[in-house]
Structure 1
Amino acid sequence: MSPRTGRWMPVGLVALAAIPVLAGTTRLVEILGGPELIPTDPRFAASPAPVVVHVAAAIGYALLGAFQFSAGIRRRHPGWHRRTGRVLVALGLAVALSALWMTLVFPSKEGTGDLLYVFRLLFGSGMAACIILGLAAIRRRDVARHRAWMTRAYALALGAGTQAFTVGFGEALFGAGVVRTDLMMGAGWAVNLAVAEWFVRRPSARQTRSSRTRAALAGSR
C-alpha cells in the first residue's frame, strides 16, 4: 500500500460507516425522547437497552477504529494507538454482544426471515471471536496476527454500511423478497470479510509483515 493510499484509508472507512452512523444516531435520539426522524420500530419500545448499547458502541467503534488503519498515526503516535485499541476492544465486544442480544430477544423485522437470523448469529459471534483472538495475539506480541484479526472484526462491524449497497442494488436487479433480502444482507458481511482477507493476505503485507513485527516489538521494549 502506498503512503498516499494509507492516508486516505480512514477517510474511506468513515465514509462507509456514515450511513449506519447517521441512521443509528437518529434512532438513538428517538429512543432517548427526541423527534421521530425515521420510521419508528415497535420492536424497540419494550426493550430499548440493547439498541442503546449497540448504537452508542457502534458509533464509537466505527469512527475511532477507522484511524487505527493509518500507518502514519501508528508510527507517530504509538501510545495513542495502544490506548485507543483498548477502548476499541471494549466497544467492539459491546457491538457484537448487543447485536447477538437483539437477535435473540427481538422478533424478526418484517420482510426478513430465518436465514438473516442465522447470519446475524454467525457474524455477530464471528466479530466477537475475532476481537478476542486479536487481543490474545497482541498479548503474545504477535503484531501481524493481531492486525489480521482486528481487521476482520472491523470489516464485520461495517457490514451495515455495505448492506446499504448490496440491498439497494440487489432489490433493483432481482426484486424484493424475504430470501432475497436475507441473502443481500448476508452479502454485505461477506463482501467486507472478503476485502479484509485480501487486505490481510495481499503480497505487500506478506513482504513487510516480518519487518513491521520486529519494529513494533523493538519499540515496545
Structure 2
Amino acid sequence: MTTTETAASIGEVRRATPWWRRPWVFPLGLLVTVFLVYSLPPYLGLNPAESRIPAPTAWYYPVLVTHIGFATIAMVTCALQIWPWLRQKHPVVHRRTGRVYVFAGAVPASIAGFAIALAAPFGPVGAVSNVLLATLWFTCTVQGYRTARARRFGEHRRWMVRSFALCMSIISNRVWAIVWATVLPGQLETTFGGSELAMGQAIAGLTTWTGWVLPLLAAEWWLTRSRGRRRAPSPA
C-alpha cells in the first residue's frame, strides 16, 4: 500500500467513526452551555452594579463587557470548530465558523482582555498572568489562521488546539478559583499575616496562572503524544 493510499485509508476510518466514539463532544457542548448560562446574566443588562468584578476605572466596565461578548462568541464557535462531524461533513461551515471564531471572537476578545488585565483589581501577579494569557491567545489564533490560509493544515491544527485550550481555560479558571478559595483561608493569620487583601490577591494570582497554564500544558502533551503516534512505524 502506498503512502497516499494509507493516508486515504486513515481518512476513511476517521470519517467513518460514529459520533459516540467521540465521547467528549456532548460533554464539552454541555459544559460551555452551562458556563455561559451561569456567567452571562449579570452583564446582559449592561448595569455596572451587577458586575461580578468591581470596575477600578470608568473605562473598565465597557471594555469588560466587550471582552465578555466576544469571548462568548469565541467559546461557542470554538466548540463547533473541534466537532469532528461538522469538520468532516460540512467543511464549508467549518471554515466559515473558523473565521467567525478568529475575527468576531478570539482576536477582539484577547485584545480587550489584554486591556482589562492591565487595570484589573487583582494584584500584579494576576495582571501578569492575564496579560500573558491574552497575548498567547491572540498569537496562537492568528498563527492558526495564517497557517490555514497557507494550507499548512498540520500546523494549523496544532495552533488551533492551543487556541482552544486558552479559550476554554476560563472554565478551568473557575474551578481553580474554588480550589484556592477553599485551601488558602486557613492560612490567613499565618502566611498572609491577617491581611485579607494579600490573601485575595494570592487566590486571584494562583487562580489565573493555574487556570490557563495547566490546560495549555495538557494541550502540548496531547499534541506531542499524537505526533508520536503518527510517526511510530507500523508493524511489518
TM normalised by structure 2 equals 0.74
Aligned residues: 202
In 2, the alpha carbon distance for the partners of 1:6 and 1:48 equals 43
**Code of the aligned partner of 1:12:** P
Specify the SS of the correspondent of 2:151. Answer: coil
**Code of the aligned partner of 1:89:** V
The answer as to 2:198 corresponding to 1:188 is no
- Cα deviation, residue 54, structure 1: 0.9
**Code of the aligned partner of 1:26:** P
* Mapping of residues 149-168 of structure 1, within 5 Å: 149-168=159-178
Contact 1:16 1:158 in 2 (8 A): no
In 1, the alpha carbon distance for the partners of 2:227 and 2:33 equals 29
Identify which range, 117-126 or 9-18, moves more after superposition: 9-18
* Mapping of residues 27-176 of structure 1, within 5 Å: 27-31=42-46, 33=47, 36=50, 39=52, 41-43=54-56, 46-90=59-103, 91-104=105-118, 106=119, 108-109=120-121, 112-175=122-185
In 2, the alpha carbon distance for the partners of 1:66 and 1:6 equals 17
> CA RMSD of the aligned region, Å?
2.8
In 1, the alpha carbon distance for the partners of 2:228 and 2:85 equals 16
Contact 1:20 1:160 in 2 (8 A): no
Contact 1:10 1:67 in 2 (8 A): no
Structure 1: gaps spanning 5 or more residues: 209-221
In 2, the alpha carbon distance for the partners of 1:89 and 1:152 equals 13
Post-superposition Cα deviations, 1:96-135, rounded to whole Å, max 9, x if no partner, equal 001012123x3x32xx311111001111001000011111
Contact 2:42 2:52 in 1 (8 A): no
Post-superposition Cα deviations, 1:23-59, rounded to whole Å, max 9, x if no partner, equal 542232131x5994x6573447654331222111111
In 2, the alpha carbon distance for the partners of 1:202 and 1:101 equals 35
Quote the sequence identity (%).
23
In 1, the alpha carbon distance for the partners of 2:181 and 2:53 equals 23
Post-superposition Cα deviations, 1:157-192, rounded to whole Å, max 9, x if no partner, equal 222210111121223233372224312321010121
In 2, the alpha carbon distance for the partners of 1:81 and 1:199 equals 22
TM normalised by structure 1 equals 0.78
In 1, the alpha carbon distance for the partners of 2:49 and 2:78 equals 29
Give the alignment partner of residue 10 of structure 1, picking from 22, 25, 37.
25
Structure number with greater CO (CA < 8 Å, separation at least 6) is 1
**Code of the aligned partner of 2:67:** H
In 2, the alpha carbon distance for the partners of 1:149 and 1:50 equals 27
